[in-house]
Structure 1
Amino acid sequence: MLWWKRRDNAVSWKAARQRAARGAAYLDAVDPGWYRHVDLRRLELADGTACVLGQRYGSFLLGLGRSGLLNLSSAPLHSLSPVDYGFLCVQHVDAEVQARDYALLNQAWREEIRQRLVQEVLEAATEGLAKLASSAYECEPNATAK
Structure 2
Amino acid sequence: MTTAEICVQAGAKLLDRNRPGWEREIDLHEMDVSDPWRCPLAQLFGSYTEGLDRLDVNDSMVFGFESGRADYSDLTFAWRELITERRTSA
State the TM-score, normalized to the length of structure 2.
0.91
- The counterpart of 1:52, out of the listed 37, 40, 44, is 40
Superposed structure 1 runs of 4+ greater than 4 Å apart: none
Percent same amino acid at aligned positions? 34
Is 1:89 paired with 2:67?
Answer: yes
Report which of the two structures shows the higher radius of gyration computed on alpha carbons.
1
Tell me, which stretches of 5 or more residues in structure 1 are unaligned? 1-12, 70-78, 92-99, 121-146
**Pick from 69, 83, 86: which aligns with 1:113?**
83
Q: 60, 65, 72: which is aligned to 1:102?
A: 72
Aligned to 1:125: none
Q: Higher relative contact order by CA 8 Å / sep ≥ 6: 1 or 2?
A: 2
CA deviation string 1:15-74 (max 9, x = no partner): 0010011101111111101111110000101111100000110000001112232xxxxx
The gaps in structure 2 that reach 5 residues or longer are none
- Structure-2 residue corresponding to 1:19: 7
Give me the whole-angstrom Cα distance separating, in 1, the residues matched to 2:87 and 2:64: 19
Query: How many pairs does the alignment contain?
Result: 90
Root-mean-square deviation over aligned CA pairs: 1.6
Residue number in structure 2 paired with 1:62: 50
Distance in 1, Cα, partners of 2:56 & 2:85: 23
Shift of 1:101: 0.2
Amino acid at match of 1:67: L
1:85, 1:109 → 2: CA distance? 11
Q: Contact 1:45–1:102 at 8 Å: present in 2 too?
A: yes
Give the CA deviation at 1:111: 1.0
> How far apart in 2 are the matches of 1:27 and 1:110?
15
Q: TM-score, normalised by structure 1?
A: 0.58
Distance of 1:113 and 1:26 partners within structure 2: 14
Q: State the distance in 2 between where 1:46 and 1:27 align.
A: 18
